Amino acid sequence: MVFRLPRRLLQPSLSGRLIILAALWSFMILLVAGLILYTLQRQVTERGFDERLGVYVKEIVADLAAPSDADRQQISDLGEPRFDLPLSGWYWQVIRTDSEKPVIRASRSLIGGQLPKLEDLGEREVRGARKGYIIGPDDRRLRQFERRIDAGEDGRYTIAVAAPSDEIQDDIRDFRIALTITFALLFAALVVSTLLQVRIGLAPLARLRQSVGDVRVGSTTRIDGEYPPDLRPLAGELNQLIETNREILDRARTHVGNLAHALKTPLSVIVNEADANPGPLAAKVNEQATLMRDQVNYYLDRARAAALTGTLGGICDVAPSLEGLIRTFDKIYRSKAIATSVNLDGAIRFRGERQDLEEMLGNLLDNAYKWATAAVRVDVELIEEAGRPLLRIVIDDDGPGLPATGRAEVLRRGRRLDESKPGSGLGLSIVTDLAKLYGGFLTLDEAGFGGLRAVLTLPAV
């Protein structure tokens, strides 16, 4: 099984990108600032600790500079009792380096041990002193301060003072915790402030999107309202596009009407002349003229539907159109006494032109009434598929129905499986083409009471 991230995470919105980018930059800046502050605080803590050790070194130097040999041999307790406690972690050590055999003196806490030389550990000398970390006699990590002293005739010495580094680590840990908490709160505050800025800053864009959506669903005919100077030209261009689209629609309707009038009138004249002069030739002319008229109607309907579905703002209620068509077909097929049942929520609306909806419903109802024996049932419901609302219209009749092999065939243009009923064979194909232009589809199945079921799926609001 392959794990894939949701599309909205792979392609975030404009506001999401701004928030993510601001959050990443804030995190990186705070991270760098935190590392710098952490490094500086560590250096300050170590420097303060080294200064304390340096004070002890100065006291030892003062004892070594005493006027009498006896005083030079005796080093005071330095005011720190832990130098006298065995393996306390607080140690001092003095090594005389100008004699053939180095003389080592050390605090009682070392109990015969010896501190390593920082020079041997590779620590650099800075301003006459070396500082670094060592492992003491008790395997504890110590901070050692070491200085070389040249007392002239009194000799040359290397003085080292070491103390546990726990105090340094504790101070650094406390600072790190406080710094982490502070920067985490600061990061959260920056993200929240960025979120507010993006929401407030992009609010006009959200209003513009809502206005475009209102135009698309037919709530309004143009984009109104005041927008910032950056968005005002865009709103104007969108209004111009809407007007241009509307003008194209009007021209298309005019051309379709003119074409229908120009073709249908000559065809009607030909049919009338053929009827007035009966004979084999007249019958053939009448047949072909009727076929031409059906073809003209079919392609004109397709052209009109293509022009209408390309426009903005088409929307209509389903209930009035369906109820009007049922009343009409009840009168047309009064002699068959068809019992019609309708299950419809009056709030359902079709995203398209009323003329196209009535064209599709009219063809389907005409087919159902034509073949029904005694009953026709219509169910209309609102469903959701792939996150978009859809309108599903189910029309059942109790007629002879169609075998499974004939259902796909009857949807093809001009195909009729039974010549006993009048018609051109274009009705279902027109419904299929109109539905396809709106992004919908028509399917045929077996009705619940034995006849044919037509299921028309269209976009809804």
| Strand 375-385 with 339-343, pairing | parallel
Query: Cα–Cα distance between 362 and 377 in angstroms, integer?
Result: 14
- Residue ranges covered by each domain of the chain: 67-165, 252-309, 316-459
Contact in structure between 318 and 360 (CB atoms under 8 Å): no
The length of the chain in residues reads 461
Taking the mean position of all CA atoms in its chain, how far away is CA 331? Answer: 54
CATH of region 316-459:
3.30.565.10
Beta strands in 321-432 (DSSP E): 339-343, 349-350, 375-385, 388-397
Query: Cα–Cα distance between 406 and 426 in angstroms, integer?
Result: 15
Mean pLDDT of all residues belonging to the chain: 82
Instruction: Say yes or no to pLDDT of 71 above 60.
Output: no
Within a 10 A sphere around the Cβ of 244, how many other Cβ atoms? 10
Contact in structure between 146 and 130 (CB atoms under 8 Å): yes
Instruction: Say yes or no to pLDDT of 35 above 90.
Output: yes
Query: Cα–Cα distance between 394 and 389 in angstroms, integer?
Result: 16
Contact in structure between 227 and 220 (CB atoms under 8 Å): no
For the residues 74-83, what does the mean pLDDT come to? 74
pLDDT class for 300, splitting at 50, 70, 90? low
Contact in structure between 89 and 140 (CB atoms under 8 Å): yes
Radius of gyration of the chain (CA): 48
Nearest to 306 by CA among 437, 426, 408: 437
Q: Which range is least confidently modeled, 282-286, 356-360, 421-425, 427-431?
A: 421-425
Q: Assign 68 to helix, strand or coil.
A: coil
pLDDT class for 127, splitting at 50, 70, 90? confident
User: Higher model confidence: residue 331 or residue 263?
Assistant: 331
Instruction: Say yes or no to pLDDT of 394 above 90.
Output: yes
For the residues 105-129, what does the mean pLDDT come to? 87
What pTM did the predictor assign?
A: 0.51
Contact in structure between 435 and 442 (CB atoms under 8 Å): yes
Segment 220-277, tens digit of pLDDT: 778 888 888 888 888 888 888 888 877 877 777 677 667 766 776 677 778 777 777 7
Nearest to 379 by CA among 344, 415, 422, 405: 344
Query: Cα–Cα distance between 238 and 127 in angstroms, integer?
Result: 74
Contact in structure between 305 and 434 (CB atoms under 8 Å): yes
The tokens for 108 are 């009682």
Handedness of CA 25, 27, 29, 32 (dihedral sign): negative
Q: How does DSSP assign 104-126, residue by residue?
A: EEE-GGGTT--PPPTTTTTPPPB
Query: Cα–Cα distance between 461 and 459 in angstroms, integer?
Result: 7
Instruction: Say yes or no to pLDDT of 101 above 80.
Output: no
Instruction: Say yes or no to pLDDT of 293 above 80.
Output: no
Fold of the CATH domain 67-165: Beta-Lactamase (3.30.450)
Q: Assign 232 to helix, strand or coil.
A: helix
Nearest to 158 by CA among 189, 215, 123, 118: 118
Instruction: Say yes or no to pLDDT of 73 above 60.
Output: no
